[in-house]
Amino acid sequence: MKKVYADAGAALDGLLFDGMLIAAGGFGLCGIPELLIAAIRDAGTRGITVASNNAGVDDFGLGILLQTRQIKKMISSYVGENAEFMRQYLSGELELEFNPQGTLAERMRAGGAGIPGFYTRTGVGTVIAEGKEHKDFDGRTYILERAIVADVSIVKAWKADPSGNLVFRKTARNFNVPAATCGKVCVAEVEEIVPLGSLDPDTIHLPGIYVHRIVQGLHEKRIENRTTRKKETV
């Protein structure tokens, strides 16, 4: 199977449709599939539900799909630093399903593992638990969380080989692995495609069996919050 595509638009060709569910990797602006997000914007797909830790910032990452009103609902654990997200949510234009961060990661992982749901103590006694099944185990109460199975997963990796084996760079691994596994089709953008057999099997973070399409491209290295201090004088 040929997995390498010429560009992000070609890699998403035939996969996008209105009302779909997309799982997106990334944490803040680290390890986000920026080229694929831009291709979704250009495709004009609408009514999208996105499962992602956050929604980028106003002019970058998933924030550009909020600007074009292509996202209908976010399934997220953090929504700060995005004024347009706040405006749309408070005005009732955007649906939001809050998840504790670990619960969101496990919902994606469970979807990729073929597990339809799991019980967790996280959120018991809070608004997170409203409307969910409660069950006691060993004298403690747990709530049922359903797995996430996305129509398409979009992720960003550091290196790939033509078979789709992926290597992520340090903390950019974040949500990319569970997001990749929970998609019916996974599309990965990478900084470099290396020859088959050149990756040490022990360094591969995600086996190629989970990855269906790959695109190589140039990526912007943004800093979400630059923190500096005054130069000390002696």
Integer Cα distance of 72 and 85 in angstroms: 11
Q: What is the pTM of this model?
A: 0.93
Nearest to 183 by CA among 224, 155, 214: 155
4-117+145-216: which CATH topology? Answer: Glutaconate Coenzyme A-transferase (3.40.1080)
- pLDDT tens track for 8-32: 999 999 999 999 999 999 998 999 9
Per-residue pLDDT, 223: 73
Q: What are the structure tokens assigned to 75, written together? A: 């399934």
Higher pLDDT, 234 or 163: 163
pLDDT of 221 over the 80 cut: no
* C-alpha 65: how far from chain center: 14
Per-residue pLDDT, 59: 87
pLDDT of 167 over the 90 cut: yes
pLDDT of 54 over the 90 cut: yes
List Cβ neighbours of 188 (8 Å cut-off, separation of 6 or more): 33, 154, 155, 156, 157, 160, 164, 166, 180, 211, 213, 214, 215
- pLDDT tens track for 183-210: 999 999 999 999 999 999 999 999 999 9
- pLDDT tens track for 117-148: 999 999 999 999 999 999 999 999 999 999 99
Per-residue pLDDT, 234: 63
pLDDT of 57 over the 70 cut: yes
Q: Which of 54-63, 90-99, 221-230 has the lowest mean pLDDT?
A: 221-230
Per-residue pLDDT, 229: 84
Per-residue pLDDT, 226: 76
Domain residue spans of the chain: 4-117+145-216
Q: With cut-offs at 50, 70 and 90, classify the pLDDT of residue 107.
A: very high
Tally of CA atoms within 13 A in the half-sphere of 65 that contains its CB: 32
Integer Cα distance of 16 and 200 in angstroms: 34
Integer Cα distance of 23 and 179 in angstroms: 6
Q: With cut-offs at 50, 70 and 90, classify the pLDDT of residue 171.
A: very high
Tally of CA atoms within 13 A in the half-sphere of 232 that contains its CB: 1
Where does the chain show beta strands of DSSP type E? Answer: 4-5, 21-24, 48-51, 71-76, 95-98, 117-120, 134-137, 140-146, 152-160, 166-167, 186-193, 213-216
pLDDT of 2 over the 70 cut: yes
Mean pLDDT across the chain: 95
